[in-house]
Structure 1
Amino acid sequence: MLRRTAFLIGLALVGAQACAQTVLEPALIERVRQLAEAAARATAPPGTRVAVEIGQLDSRLRLAPCAQIQPYLPPGVAVWGRSRIGLRCTAGTARWNVTLPVRVAVFGRVVVASGPLPAGVNLTQEQLAMADIDIAAEPGAVFTDAGQLIGRTLARPVGAAEALRAPALKSRQWFAAGETVQVSAVGDGFAVSSEAQAMGAGIEGQDVRVRFESGRVVSGRAVGERRVEVAL
């Protein structure tokens, strides 16, 4: 009986130790929160509010004891929305490296649909409203000025109170092939403008080739009404 009791106590202690290895100290959780919040604020628009929700490590992990754990941002990982913060042991019996799930919300006042809108509709002021939402919940740039959306056409349906995001809008055609366009060559600390003939349609945000009077052909990006920008 005593041997059985000792065995059960031993199992309980081992289980407690295994659980403790995946439980993070409050001070470390706070460091993770501050790191995620600072990274999100670095790219958040002015006037927004950032909120960070810390997840839990995978319960199947069995991490060796560590005297010093360093939180860090994994390369190439976006901080907004559902993301991950790296944790690495820098002073312990075994050097380990894991990631901790986090959810970063960025609340801001942006343009939303005042009601359900079908694809193909040309936006009017009456169809738009302002609301405070989590702009990090979905990908795509949002708008803070309803005037920027008047007359734009929806490429897909948008629900009531849903943010109007750039991917939901049809790309604008700034000019047609054969039209004369103003080409700006932009470099480090300078910009030069000249006229050229468009060799294709100028679709918003897309590259298009233009031909100068000299016959030289270059490729640039359509950025506005009969305007092309060439990066040097």
Structure 2
Amino acid sequence: MLRWPCLLVAALALVAPPSSAGAQGLPGDWSQRVGLLAEQAARAALPAEAQVQVEVGALDARLRLAPCAQVQPFVPPGQALWGRARLGLRCVQGAVRWSVTVPVQVRVIAPTWVAAQPLPAGTVIAAEHLRWAPAEVSADSAPVLGSVAPVGRTLARALDAGEVLRQPHLKARQWFAAGDTVQVNWQGQGFAISAEGQALGPGLDGQPVRVRVQGGRIIQATPVAERRVEAMS
């Protein structure tokens, strides 16, 4: 599921006639621009071959919006743009400034990994277990969209034939054990530093771990590969 931490605003504002737009539903031009913004936002993190279908809903019939000469669509902070979502409309040129949200349904069909056969939990994935095929990924959270098959990974839960492979299906990789010596990498503006440290916990993929470095200092780091971590700023 995709989220945006800041406001995403349409490049062109909507120009609406100076009349109320609440009771009559969403004007055609508004609906078109809202749909375009939803599609652009959904495509931002998708491969080029993905298909995006957007259905724009209606404003709440109880709304009575003040006349506005210029209305601007935007993506609210943190809003998910797959599946059922809401986009914003705000008046930026009118006697009364207002802001409302409009329901949208965003369907995303993209190439992804699906199970070629039923796979029980604990299966070590082999090439023949998966096939690369278009599927609706907006109905699932965290689909595996990378074109490289996760061969060698272990399933944490079962997959039905044809089911989309998602990140939660994959058992977290352990890159090292507690007490192992690991290489610690720091990266910053114009510099990169490496040093050795001792892991104080198991190195699980995507989970922070404490590492003791030279001088006894303890830092937080992210496991990224076999006996390798990246220091967290």
Structure 1: how far apart are the matches of 2:192 and 2:232? 9
Counterpart pick for 1:51 among 35, 50, 53: 53
Alignment of 1:37-48 (within 5 A): 37-48=39-50
User: Which of the pair has the greater relative contact order for Cα pairs under 8 Å at 6+ separation?
Assistant: 2
Structure 2 counterpart SS, 1:35: helix
Letter of the 1:32 partner, please give it: V
Q: Which residue of 1 aligns with 2:220?
A: 219
Residue 20 to residue 178, structure 1, CA distance change in 2 (3 Å): closer
Structure 1, 90-99 or 24-33: larger mean CA deviation: 90-99
**RMSD of equivalent CA atoms:** 2.4
TM-score (norm 1): 0.82
Structure 1, 89-98 or 79-88: larger mean CA deviation: 89-98
Structure 2: how far apart are the matches of 1:216 and 1:91? 56
Structure 1: how far apart are the matches of 2:139 and 2:96? 37
Gaps of 5+ in 2: 1-19
Matched, 1:116 2:105: no
Q: Percent identity?
A: 51
Residue 89 to residue 35, structure 1, CA distance change in 2 (3 Å): same
Q: Which residue of 2 aligns with 1:99?
A: 101
Structure 2 counterpart SS, 1:43: coil
Structure 2: how far apart are the matches of 1:20 and 1:214? 66
Structure 2: how far apart are the matches of 1:198 and 1:58? 55
Alignment of 1:1-232 (within 5 A): 21-91=23-93, 94-147=96-149, 149-232=150-233
Task: Give the deviation of 1:36 after TM superposition.
Answer: 1.2
Greater fraction helix: 1
Task: Give the deviation of 1:170 after TM superposition.
Answer: 1.0
Structure 2: how far apart are the matches of 1:196 and 1:92? 61
What is the CA deviation profile of residues 207-227 of structure 1, one whole-angstrom value per residue up to 9, with x for unaligned ones?
Answer: 112223433322211111111
Gaps of 5+ in 1: 1-17
Query: Rg: which structure is higher?
Result: 1
Structure 2: how far apart are the matches of 1:193 and 1:95? 53
What is the CA deviation profile of residues 11-67 of structure 1, one whole-angstrom value per residue up to 9, with x for unaligned ones?
Answer: xxxxxxx99723222111111111112222222234322221111223343444544
- Give the total of aligned pairs: 215
Structure 1, 170-179 or 53-62: larger mean CA deviation: 53-62
Structure 2: how far apart are the matches of 1:123 and 1:99? 43
Residue 97 to residue 213, structure 1, CA distance change in 2 (3 Å): closer
Task: Give the deviation of 1:228 after TM superposition.
Answer: 0.7
Letter of the 2:170 partner, please give it: L
Task: Give the deviation of 1:139 after TM superposition.
Answer: 1.6
Letter of the 2:40 partner, please give it: A
Structure 1, 18-27 or 210-219: larger mean CA deviation: 18-27
- Is the Cα contact below 8 Å between 1:54 and 1:103 reproduced in 2? yes
What is the CA deviation profile of residues 62-102 of structure 1, one whole-angstrom value per residue up to 9, with x for unaligned ones?
Answer: 44454443222212212222211112234556543221111
